[in-house]
Structure 1
Amino acid sequence: MTSLAGEACTACRADAPQVLEQDQQELLQQLAGWSVIKREGVNQLEKVFPFKDFNQALDFANAVGELAEGANHHPALLVEWGKTTVIWWTHTIQGLHRNDFVMAAKTDYLHGK
C-alpha cells in the first residue's frame, strides 16, 4: 500500500486550495497509470482498469462506490465490457485536491486485492 492509500480523505470546503501542477506531478509518481485530464476546464484524475468481462468491471465499480460512500467523496465511474474507468476530482473546488490522489491510491489498492 502506498503512503497515499493510508491517508484519510478529509472534508473539503469551497475555499480549499487546489493541488498545484508541480505537486500534481509529484503525486502522480506514486500512482501508476493515472493521468490528469482537463475536461471543461477542470483537472481530473483518470485511470482505466481492465477486466475479463462486464461482470468483473461492474463488481469493481460497485466496490469503488462503497469506498467512495465511506469517504463521502465520489468519482465518475464508467463501466463497459472489460473495463471500468474511474475519474476523481473535487466538485467543490472544481479541480484536484489531495483527497483525489488519496482516493486514486485507495482505488489502486482495492483493484490489487
Structure 2
Amino acid sequence: MTGTHLVTKVCTPCRGGIPPLAPDEVTAFRKQVLDWSVQDEARRIERTYTFKNFAEAFTFVRKVAELAEAEGHHPDISFGWGYATVSLQTKKIKGLHENDFIMAAKLDNMAENLPLGP
C-alpha cells in the first residue's frame, strides 16, 4: 500500500539553501513508502521494480519520465530486462526532501495501477 497522503501532494520547487531532512524525518516519511530503501546515510532513497520482460520495464520507465516532467522532480533511473531501479534525491540540497517521498509514493501508485503488456 502506498502513502496515500503523499500521493495527493505535488512536488514543490526546491531552490536549495534549506537543510535536507533529518534522520528522524526520513524514518517518518519512509513508513509511507515501505518498499524503498534508504541509502547513502539517509541522503537518497531507492527501489527496484520488477517486470515480466524488457518491454514492460521500458513502459514503466517512460511513464516515470512523464511523471517526473509533470512534477518537476527527476529521479535517476536504470533499467534492463525485467527491472527498473529508481533513485531519488534532491540534488540542490544533497539529501532528501519531502518531494522525494512524494515522488516515491506516486511511483508506487503508478506501478500498482500501470497497465502493462500488449
SS of residue in 1 equivalent to 2:87: strand
Q: Deviation of residue 72 (structure 1)? A: 1.0
Cα distance in 2 for partners of 1:106, 1:19 equals 19
Please tell me whether residue 70 in structure 1 is matched to residue 43 in structure 2. no
Q: Which has the higher strand share?
A: 1
Q: CA deviation at 1:17?
A: 2.5
Q: Equivalents in 2 of 1:44, 1:18: separation in Å? A: 10
Letter in structure 2 aligned against 1:66: E
1:92 pairs with 2:66: no
- 1:83 paired residue number: 83
Find the counterpart in structure 2 of residue 3 from structure 1. Answer: 5
Distance 1:101 1:4 in 2: 7
Counterpart Cα distance in 2 of 1:77 and 1:69: 14
> Could you list the runs of 5+ residues in structure 2 that have no partner in the other structure?
114-118
With 41-50 and 13-22 compared, the bigger mean Cα shift is at 41-50
Find the counterpart in structure 2 of residue 47 from structure 1.
47
Letter aligned with residue 35 of structure 1: S
Computed over aligned residues only, the root mean square deviation of the Cα atoms, in angstroms, reads: 1.3
Check the 8 A contact 2:26/2:42 in 1, yes or no. Answer: no
| 3-state SS, counterpart of residue 44 of structure 2 | strand
Distance in 2 (alpha carbons) for counterparts of 1:49 and 1:7: 22
Identity of aligned residues (%): 38
Q: Distance in 2 between matches of 1:7 and 1:17?
A: 20
Q: Is the 8 A contact 1:14 1:92 kept in 2?
A: yes
Q: Deviations over 1:2-54 (max 9, x none)?
A: 1011111001011123111001111111102101111xx77111000010001
1:104 aligned partner: 104
- Separation in 2 of the partners of 1:107 and 1:93? 22
Query: How far apart in 2 are the matches of 1:69 and 1:42?
Result: 25
Q: Is the 8 A contact 2:56 2:82 kept in 1?
A: yes
Per the normalisation by structure 2, the TM-score is 0.89
Verify: 1:27 aligned to 2:34, yes or no: no
